[in-house]
A = this chain, B = another copy of it.
Amino acid sequence: MLVSSRGRYGLRSMVDMVINAKNSPVPLRAIAERQGISESYLEQVFAILRKAGLINAIRGSYGGYVLAKPPTEITVGEILLALEGPLVPVDCVQDGKNVHCERRDICLTQPFWKELSDKIGEVLSSTTLQDLANPDHKSI
Protein backbone atom coordinates (compact mmCIF):
# COMPACT_ATOMS: atom_id res chain seq x y z
CA MET A 1 0.00 0.00 0.00
CA LEU A 2 3.00 2.29 -0.16
CA VAL A 3 3.47 4.98 -2.76
CA SER A 4 6.80 4.36 -4.50
CA SER A 5 9.75 6.71 -4.65
CA ARG A 6 8.72 7.72 -8.16
CA GLY A 7 5.50 9.24 -6.86
CA ARG A 8 7.06 10.81 -3.80
CA TYR A 9 9.96 12.28 -5.75
CA GLY A 10 7.62 13.64 -8.39
CA LEU A 11 5.31 15.31 -5.94
CA ARG A 12 8.14 16.86 -3.94
CA SER A 13 9.77 18.08 -7.13
CA MET A 14 6.62 19.76 -8.38
CA VAL A 15 6.16 21.54 -5.07
CA ASP A 16 9.81 22.57 -5.34
CA MET A 17 9.09 24.06 -8.76
CA VAL A 18 6.22 26.13 -7.41
CA ILE A 19 8.45 27.58 -4.73
CA ASN A 20 11.61 28.10 -6.77
CA ALA A 21 10.27 29.24 -10.13
CA LYS A 22 10.87 32.96 -10.50
CA ASN A 23 9.42 33.54 -13.94
CA SER A 24 12.13 31.31 -15.36
CA PRO A 25 12.43 27.58 -15.99
CA VAL A 26 13.79 25.48 -13.17
CA PRO A 27 16.66 23.17 -14.16
CA LEU A 28 16.43 19.57 -13.08
CA ARG A 29 19.84 19.66 -11.47
CA ALA A 30 18.76 22.37 -9.03
CA ILE A 31 15.67 20.41 -8.02
CA ALA A 32 17.65 17.21 -7.58
CA GLU A 33 20.20 18.95 -5.40
CA ARG A 34 17.67 20.72 -3.20
CA GLN A 35 15.60 17.59 -2.77
CA GLY A 36 18.49 15.18 -2.45
CA ILE A 37 17.38 12.98 -5.32
CA SER A 38 19.50 11.25 -7.97
CA GLU A 39 19.43 13.56 -10.98
CA SER A 40 19.41 10.84 -13.61
CA TYR A 41 16.58 9.01 -11.94
CA LEU A 42 14.61 12.21 -11.59
CA GLU A 43 15.06 12.67 -15.33
CA GLN A 44 12.89 9.64 -15.92
CA VAL A 45 10.30 10.86 -13.48
CA PHE A 46 10.11 14.19 -15.30
CA ALA A 47 9.75 12.44 -18.66
CA ILE A 48 6.56 10.86 -17.32
CA LEU A 49 5.25 14.15 -15.96
CA ARG A 50 5.97 15.86 -19.28
CA LYS A 51 4.21 13.18 -21.32
CA ALA A 52 1.25 13.51 -18.96
CA GLY A 53 1.05 17.20 -19.82
CA LEU A 54 1.74 18.42 -16.30
CA ILE A 55 5.01 20.19 -17.07
CA ASN A 56 6.69 21.70 -20.10
CA ALA A 57 10.37 21.49 -20.91
CA ILE A 58 12.57 24.25 -22.28
CA ARG A 59 15.65 22.82 -23.86
CA GLY A 60 19.10 24.29 -24.32
CA SER A 61 21.18 26.45 -22.05
CA TYR A 62 19.21 28.41 -19.47
CA GLY A 63 16.46 25.86 -19.99
CA GLY A 64 14.60 23.80 -17.47
CA TYR A 65 11.05 22.87 -16.58
CA VAL A 66 7.91 24.90 -15.97
CA LEU A 67 4.45 23.90 -14.80
CA ALA A 68 2.00 23.45 -17.65
CA LYS A 69 -0.82 24.97 -15.57
CA PRO A 70 -1.05 27.26 -12.55
CA PRO A 71 -0.44 25.40 -9.28
CA THR A 72 -4.03 26.02 -8.20
CA GLU A 73 -5.17 23.87 -11.13
CA ILE A 74 -2.89 20.89 -10.60
CA THR A 75 -4.12 18.33 -8.10
CA VAL A 76 -2.00 15.83 -6.26
CA GLY A 77 -4.24 13.19 -7.80
CA GLU A 78 -3.20 14.13 -11.32
CA ILE A 79 0.47 13.87 -10.41
CA LEU A 80 0.18 10.53 -8.65
CA LEU A 81 -2.06 9.13 -11.35
CA ALA A 82 0.64 9.84 -13.91
CA LEU A 83 3.45 8.41 -11.80
CA GLU A 84 1.81 5.56 -9.92
CA GLY A 85 -1.12 4.54 -12.05
CA PRO A 86 -4.73 4.49 -10.85
CA LEU A 87 -5.03 5.52 -7.24
CA VAL A 88 -7.28 2.70 -6.17
CA PRO A 89 -6.55 -0.09 -3.70
CA VAL A 90 -7.78 -2.85 -6.03
CA ASP A 91 -8.35 -3.07 -9.77
CA CYS A 92 -12.02 -3.91 -9.60
CA VAL A 93 -13.12 -0.49 -8.36
CA GLN A 94 -11.78 1.47 -11.29
CA ASP A 95 -14.60 3.01 -13.22
CA GLY A 96 -14.30 3.55 -16.93
CA LYS A 97 -11.82 0.78 -17.67
CA ASN A 98 -13.65 -2.48 -18.11
CA VAL A 99 -11.71 -4.32 -15.48
CA HIS A 100 -13.59 -7.57 -15.50
CA CYS A 101 -13.80 -9.56 -12.32
CA GLU A 102 -16.20 -12.41 -12.80
CA ARG A 103 -16.86 -12.38 -9.07
CA ARG A 104 -17.97 -8.78 -8.92
CA ASP A 105 -21.61 -9.65 -8.36
CA ILE A 106 -20.96 -12.00 -5.49
CA CYS A 107 -17.91 -10.30 -4.01
CA LEU A 108 -18.64 -9.04 -0.52
CA THR A 109 -15.43 -7.08 -0.25
CA GLN A 110 -15.97 -4.99 -3.36
CA PRO A 111 -18.19 -2.35 -1.69
CA PHE A 112 -15.56 -1.90 0.98
CA TRP A 113 -12.82 -1.34 -1.58
CA LYS A 114 -15.10 1.10 -3.35
CA GLU A 115 -15.63 3.10 -0.18
CA LEU A 116 -11.91 3.20 0.55
CA SER A 117 -11.17 4.17 -3.03
CA ASP A 118 -13.67 7.03 -2.87
CA LYS A 119 -12.18 8.40 0.34
CA ILE A 120 -8.68 8.32 -1.14
CA GLY A 121 -9.96 9.99 -4.30
CA GLU A 122 -11.55 12.80 -2.30
CA VAL A 123 -8.27 13.73 -0.64
CA LEU A 124 -6.26 13.45 -3.82
CA SER A 125 -8.59 15.50 -5.97
CA SER A 126 -9.17 18.22 -3.40
CA THR A 127 -5.53 19.01 -2.73
CA THR A 128 -3.64 21.18 -5.21
CA LEU A 129 0.02 21.99 -5.61
CA GLN A 130 -0.76 25.44 -4.31
CA ASP A 131 -2.10 23.94 -1.08
CA LEU A 132 1.18 22.12 -0.55
CA ALA A 133 3.41 25.06 -1.44
CA ASN A 134 1.49 27.51 0.79
CA PRO A 135 0.24 25.43 3.71
CA ASP A 136 -1.06 28.52 5.55
CA HIS A 137 -3.55 29.31 2.82
CA LYS A 138 -4.93 25.81 2.70
CA SER A 139 -8.53 26.05 1.66
CA ILE A 140 -9.71 23.08 3.71
Contacts and interface: CB of A to CB of B under 8 A. Distances in A.
Interface string A1-32: 11100001001100100010000000000000
Contact of A116 (B91, B124, B131, B133): B124
Interface string A77-92: 0001000111111110
B119 A123 contact: yes
- How many copies of the chain does the oligomer comprise? 2
Interface residues of A, number: 37
Interface stretch (A39-47, A51-59, A64-72, A104-112): A104-112
Nearest to A11: B109
A74 interface: no
B108 A133 contact: yes
Contacts of A87: 1
Contacts of A49: none
A8 B109 contact: yes
A3 B89 CA distance: 5
A116 B108 contact: no
